[in-house]
Structure 1
Amino acid sequence: MKTSCNKCQSSDAVEVYEDHEYCFSCNTYNPNKGKVVSLDELRTDRNPTTYSAISSYRSYPIASRGISQQIVDYFNVKMSVDQNGKPESHYYPYTRNGEVVAYKERKLPKEFRVHGDFKNTELFGQAQCAGNRTLVITEGELDALSVAEAWQQTKGRIFPVVSLPSASATSHALAQRDWLNSFDSVILMLDNDEAGQKATNYLGKMLKPGKVRIAKLKHKDPNEVLMKEGAKAILQAVYDAAPWSPSGIVVGEEIWNQFIARQNVESVPYPDCLSGLNDKIKGIRQGEISLFTSGTGSGKSTVIKEIILSLLDTTDDKVGLISLEESVGDTAEKFISMQLKRPVNDPPPLSQEEIRAGYDQVFGDERLVLLDHQGSVGDDSLIDKIEYMALLGCKYLVLDHITIAVSEGSEGLSGNEAVDKVMSDLLKVVKRHNVWLGLISHLRKASPQGKSFEEGKLASIDDIKGSGSIKQISFDIIAFARNLVAENETERNTIQFRVLKSRFTGLTGNAGSSVYDPSTARLKASGSFSIEAVDLR
């Protein structure tokens, strides 16, 4: 029997047995439906000889499913028999770095359990794969054997095929995303049921665009095709596989449903220190891009971190931060200082225990995910890393900043073409995974005749650096500024906000101000708005 998992919230990944439950999505074991423990905690003490004994078991053809001895041996599948010599269990090996570290047991006809260390294992059959042209993915080990059997019968050789542990265990595929993307083409041959369709959509979004093809089956799964139509029918499904694309054409009642969904979209408020933004744009919404722009040293990093801390405090979701000008250590220091409401390096010194307490409050539950760019963002991988964060479950993402992203991800393009390409890719990620993206952009150099942005001038839309796509694709545009050279300290630490665009409300204009308190490293709302500070000369 299958049920939902209380730990990872998967709706159907848990197999229930007489003495335990096991989730094939998050790899947790629940003895007697009691406390959920990880496999690492469990396997050290539970049946320590079972795993090593399995590797010495014999193998037999699975005649009832049309699988030959050659295929069974090729994938190192093991068998056990009962006292009467009848097949009792199949044991499917799972590897890590090519070495078998666990077996998934299928106790006939269809009960499952795991032996060994199943955490962070590769896909079933991955160790046998060679080449990088075409790969088939199934959602069951027996289905992978069926595809291999079809190839062996018709072609005399076995082409790459792997299996997920189950339709719900897509986290295994996510961990192998780079390896999967190394193939020119990935064909999904998953079960013809709701769980299989859900996994197909997840994998289609997870892998690079244009790489995924869908094999349509006339029966429930590849093994049923093999048994009812033969090996050639499986090969024909591979040859006829059509490119995957998310559904996009809607008519009739679906338009109404999407209208209702839009009316009910959740807006997460900005923090109290940015309350003026809530008056204008009503908060943050998934599926949108919000652009933040200001002059150098105007407080972009602090504003963004206030937003992130608020999201962690008011939602249960993960947040991803891609800060291309700041090391992970610097980012952690600033978050800890803000959480403790005092800079950690200011006297008197804080104890290690106090600093650790602040760290645990921000990072302890692992909901804040950072990109460690190590001083360089590499070749064309930044968009891929952003999408990976979305696949990890980050519903809110921040990219600081678009200028570096353009230089990294433009694929040899330059100027406006490069900006257009990156903005288009970012929008696809946002829509594909329904996440919010906060994007920081720099400004053009101000005219030497007027006030500079660093003197408190607030930007207009035309001041935003880069192509028009930045302004067109963004749903909200928020400009802010402070006078870095003001004689008065309060004025120097006051940030003025102005909404330049809001697709959701249509409201624009001045949006209050916040004051930075150096003693707490935090912002607080001031409510006032200085017309002089935002003179647009």
Structure 2
Amino acid sequence: MDHEGGTFCFACNKPGRPSGDRPSGGRNISKEVQFVSGEAQALVKRGISEDTAKKWRYEVGTDHGKPVQIANYYDKNGALTGQKIRYPDKTFRVVGKLSGLYGQHLWGGGKRIVITEGEIDALSVSQAQNNSWPVVSVPNGAAGAKASIEKALDYLDKFEEIVLAFDNDEPGRKASAECAPLLPPGRVKIAAWPLKDASDLLQAGRVKDLTTAIWNAAPWRPDGIVNAADLWDSIADRTEAFSVPYPWEDLNSVTYGLRVGELVTVTAGSGVGKSAIVREVAHHLLKRGERVGMLMLEESIRRTALGMLGLELNTRLHVSMAGVNDSDLRAAFDRTFSSGNLFLYDHFGSTEIDNLLSRVRYLAHACKCRWIILDHISIVVSGMGDGDERRLIDNAMTALRTLVQELGIGLILVTHLKRPEGKGHEEGALTSLSQLRGSASIAQLSDIVIGAERNQQGDRPNLTTLRVLKNRFSGDTGIGGYLEYHKDTGRLIEADAPDTGDAPPDDSEF
């Protein structure tokens, strides 16, 4: 029942009115209001004293022969405007109009005010504080709290501190979250009851716990705002960030390895060897006992499996299986796959982003994969039908970044580069963040970006330079090592820096 004598739906937060225009009980409030008379007395079961009941004019009486409790509402001039009538079966009806917050007429302003979810809770808090500190209640419970607070903002602005002390249940917590942002910034605190509400604490004789909850109410801050003074436990934790090394030491010296919760992007020009790099990383992770999911969208799962077995056998198995007998092949298969730690995605051309996201989530939750490789993002957005590549990549990257945080996984993402002016990347052009194809969000949302550079027409066409373009973890960037592709084994092996051909300076006179 709302403060106008109608009903209030606590499920949809909307007022209504029973059939006809008459409120429950048959009294027509459009004419002279017939209030229910009562007498202030102790509520023994609730632990409320007679003095408290008298201060709040919370009364006990009868209505149509039934015993009732009466919460009287007054305007700022002290005139009775409405009553909330509580019956033994815990149902309510309203007589007249419930003006403002319950108890609002008792307090004109001050240092602190506590707002509860119900009238009895307000009496309980008031009594625990010797009826000396301002306390009010919303009239329509948690579901109507937001609307009630909105109407009382001018009144609440008179207090230096506002403590929301709603019930310790889901509706109460939701009401606190809805009401706190409405109130003056910096003045709102949230009380955490050790039981369901203030009344339960008073009935249990835990008055000290009740007052402690009020005095220790935590300052409310919007989600994501943290006071640095609360971070000592986190700072004092000397546990090093968990990292798994790459298969190449020079790259580890710059990146400090792979970490869950991070998105690593590997980029290069066409044909430079992006897929070969991430396959080596996947094989290395498997050898360390890690669980890996591979979504290789440019190749079949057979090609991916042969590539992984080829790394194990040090032969380009996907090119030819002629030199490997079944016994050796089976042994390599068992060493690589029998642990059940590798999961592949048989995409059959289905690369829609929502489908891929659900597969990533499944790999993380159901398959317990800590590391997932997606090769590559450009294919994902190319299959989405919309011509706005930048927007599609933005959406895809945001979704992937969110998944990395939500699932606590490490994601290794492959992407293409835009062709630079002058010589191309296949001719050894340097990589840069600005060349990431499609959208700046790839660089912005990645924790690590690794560029691969190779001059296919140079003196050492199989030498790849790894360049760390972004490193959110340590800030270190620059060359992260060199990899030599060995055609006989199909492996990328760490190599020394190339000889530039420049002779050292000669400072002698001769």
Is contact 2:426–2:455 with CA below 8 Å preserved after alignment? Answer: yes
- Equivalent in the alignment of 2:306: 333
- Equivalent in the alignment of 2:461: 492
Q: For the residues of structure 2 that align with 1:330 and 1:475, how far apart are their CA atoms?
A: 29
Of the three residues 359, 363, 384, the one matched with 2:358 is: 384
Tell me whether 1:433 sits opposite 2:433 in the alignment.
no
Is contact 1:380–1:411 with CA below 8 Å preserved after alignment? Answer: no
Deviations 1:404-433 (CA, angstroms, capped at 9, x unpaired): 12234x695823221111111001110011
Q: CA deviation at 1:485?
A: 2.1
Q: For the residues of structure 1 that align with 2:287 and 2:236, how far apart are their CA atoms?
A: 28
Q: CA deviation at 1:529?
A: 4.1
Of the three residues 331, 337, 348, the one matched with 1:357 is: 331
Rate the CA distance shift 1:256–1:394 in 2: closer, same or farther, 3 A: farther
- Equivalent in the alignment of 1:419: 393
- Equivalent in the alignment of 2:294: 321
Tell me whether 1:402 sits opposite 2:377 in the alignment.
yes
Is contact 1:317–1:393 with CA below 8 Å preserved after alignment? Answer: no
Is contact 1:312–1:367 with CA below 8 Å preserved after alignment? Answer: yes
Q: For the residues of structure 1 that align with 2:385 and 2:414, how far apart are their CA atoms?
A: 21
Deviations 1:287-345 (CA, angstroms, capped at 9, x unpaired): 0011111011111111111111111122x331111110010000111111110111235
Q: CA deviation at 1:347?
A: 7.2
- Equivalent in the alignment of 1:302: 276
Q: CA RMSD in A?
A: 2.6
Deviations 1:506-531 (CA, angstroms, capped at 9, x unpaired): 11111220111111111111121466
Give the secondary structure class of the aligned counterpart of 1:492: coil
Matching residue's letter, 2:441 = S
Tell me whether 1:458 sits opposite 2:430 in the alignment.
yes
- Equivalent in the alignment of 1:175: none
- Equivalent in the alignment of 1:481: 453
Rate the CA distance shift 1:480–1:469 in 2: closer, same or farther, 3 A: same
Q: For the residues of structure 1 that align with 2:467 and 2:353, how far apart are their CA atoms?
A: 35
Q: For the residues of structure 2 that align with 1:294 and 1:532, how far apart are their CA atoms?
A: 25
Rate the CA distance shift 1:282–1:372 in 2: closer, same or farther, 3 A: same
Gaps of 5+ in 1: 1-191, 193-217, 220-246
Tell me whether 1:528 sits opposite 2:489 in the alignment.
no
The percent of aligned pairs where both chains have the same amino acid is 34
Q: For the residues of structure 2 that align with 1:434 and 1:364, how far apart are their CA atoms?
A: 25
Is contact 2:352–2:380 with CA below 8 Å preserved after alignment? Answer: no
Of the three residues 330, 343, 346, the one matched with 2:316 is: 343
- Equivalent in the alignment of 1:503: 472
Is contact 2:272–2:453 with CA below 8 Å preserved after alignment? Answer: yes
Tell me whether 1:512 sits opposite 2:455 in the alignment.
no
Deviations 1:444-492 (CA, angstroms, capped at 9, x unpaired): 0221xx2210011121111111211111111111111111223x4xx11
- Equivalent in the alignment of 2:346: 372
**TM-score normalised by structure 2 residue count:** 0.51
Gaps of 5+ in 2: 1-168, 170-194, 197-222, 503-510
**TM-score normalised by structure 1 residue count:** 0.49
Give the secondary structure class of the aligned counterpart of 2:373: strand
Give the secondary structure class of the aligned counterpart of 1:369: strand
Tell me whether 1:470 sits opposite 2:442 in the alignment.
yes
The residue correspondences of 1:182-261 to structure 2 (distance < 5 A) are: 250-251=226-227, 255-259=231-235
- Equivalent in the alignment of 2:211: none
Is contact 1:510–1:529 with CA below 8 Å preserved after alignment? Answer: no
Rate the CA distance shift 1:347–1:290 in 2: closer, same or farther, 3 A: closer
Q: Which has the larger radius of gyration?
A: 2
Is contact 1:496–1:530 with CA below 8 Å preserved after alignment? Answer: no
Rate the CA distance shift 1:501–1:357 in 2: closer, same or farther, 3 A: same
Rate the CA distance shift 1:254–1:435 in 2: closer, same or farther, 3 A: farther
